[in-house]
């Protein structure tokens, strides 16, 4: 396994700009999760996919946020019209199967700074 | 709603001393419990997890945790701290009510004094 990868690792943008992050899960993992993490806090769930289907979205995910996983492999998270409050670490994780006991494997994260 | 409480945002121990990081959860059904570690500027890595069976769970890097249902706790311990253990530790829980989501604690930063 090459692990979960995320790109870019860091992103600085100006308020009002759009940004897109990419996540490549571990091969053949059918579940993919997006989280947001701010300093001093645990991860906050944003959304998850079972293959290409987006099964749940947190209320944290305003209409400025959209996520896709078009072929059930990599996923993108787009934030439109960024705000300073969007500054955070965005984490992606994947798991091999459906199940409450399944381990989620995390990528290194994308750190976003909105100026 | 489920919640996870980690007592102490920062814990400081001397190298070689016992590490104890506390985690309490609220769940009305048997939960699955996880401890993850996060090193600076890195993602989270699973240390150990409890699903069923033996309540004392051993993980990587010499860590272990014990599930105590009566106390709704899942505290993380290591007999002897090493400088490389300095990191942030997160407790998380999932159960039938969480719809496959992990519910996370706020984390405890472990500081190792030489």
What are the phi and psi torsion angles at B83 (to 5°)?
A: -55, -35
Q: What is the pLDDT of residue A109?
A: 94
pLDDT band per the 50, 70, 90 thresholds, residue A102: confident
Give the distance from residue A81's alpha carbon to the nearest chain B alpha carbon, in angstroms: 26
For residue A42, the chain B residues in CB contact (below 8 A) are: 4, 90, 92, 104-107
List, for residues A34-62, the tens digit of each pLDDT value.
999 998 888 998 999 989 998 888 877 78
β-pair type (A88-95, A31-37): antiparallel
Residues B69 and B76: beta-carbon distance below 8 Å:
no
d(CA B112, CA B114): 6
d(CA A63, CA A76): 15
Neighbours of A70 (CB within 10 A): 9
Average pLDDT over residues A61-65: 88
Is 70 exceeded by the pLDDT of residue B48? yes
Q: Cβ contact (<8 Å) for B34 and A45?
A: no
| Pairs of CB atoms within 8 A across A/B | 58
Q: Output B27 or A93, whichever has higher pLDDT.
A: A93
Q: Cβ contact (<8 Å) for A98 and B32?
A: no
Q: Cβ contact (<8 Å) for A101 and B104?
A: no
Is 60 exceeded by the pLDDT of residue A33? yes
Neighbours of B12 (CB within 10 A): 13
Residue A74 contacts B, CB cutoff 8 Å: no
d(CA B1, CA B27): 8
Residues B111 and B11: beta-carbon distance below 8 Å:
yes
Q: What is the pLDDT of residue B97?
A: 64
Q: Cβ contact (<8 Å) for A100 and B100?
A: yes
Question: Which among A98, A100, A106 has the least Cβ separation from residue B44?
Answer: A106
From A102, A82, A88, A87, select the one nearest A33 (Cα to Cα).
A102
List, for residues B70-105, the tens digit of each pLDDT value.
999 999 999 999 999 999 999 999 866 666 678 899
């Amino acid at each position: 396994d090459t692990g979960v990868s995320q790109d870019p690792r860091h992103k600085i943008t100006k308020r009002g700009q759009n940004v897109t992050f990419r996540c490549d899960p571990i091969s053949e993992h059918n579940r993919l999760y997006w989280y947001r993490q701010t300093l001093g806090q645990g991860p906050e769930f944003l959304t998850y996919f079972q293959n290409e289907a987006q099964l749940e979205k947190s209320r944290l995910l305003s209409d400025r946020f959209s996520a896709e996983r078009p072929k059930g492999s990599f996923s993108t998270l787009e934030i439109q019209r960024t705000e300073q409050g969007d500054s955070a670490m965005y984490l992606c994780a994947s798991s091999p199967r459906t199940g409450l006991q399944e381990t989620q494997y995390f990528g290194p994260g994308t750190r976003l700074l909105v100026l | 709603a489920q919640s996870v409480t980690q007592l102490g945002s920062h814990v400081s121990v001397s190298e070689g001393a016992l590490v104890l990081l506390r985690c309490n959860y609220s769940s009305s059904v048997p939960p699955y419990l996880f401890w993850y570690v996060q090193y600076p500027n890195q993602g989270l890595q699973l240390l150990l997890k409890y699903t069923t069976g033996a309540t004392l769970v051993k993980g990587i890097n010499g860590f272990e945790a014990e599930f105590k249902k009566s106390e709704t706790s899942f505290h993380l311990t290591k007999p002897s701290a090493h400088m490389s253990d300095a990191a942030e530790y997160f407790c998380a829980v999932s159960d039938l009510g969480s719809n496959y989501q992990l519910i996370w604690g706020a984390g405890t930063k472990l500081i190792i004094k030489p």
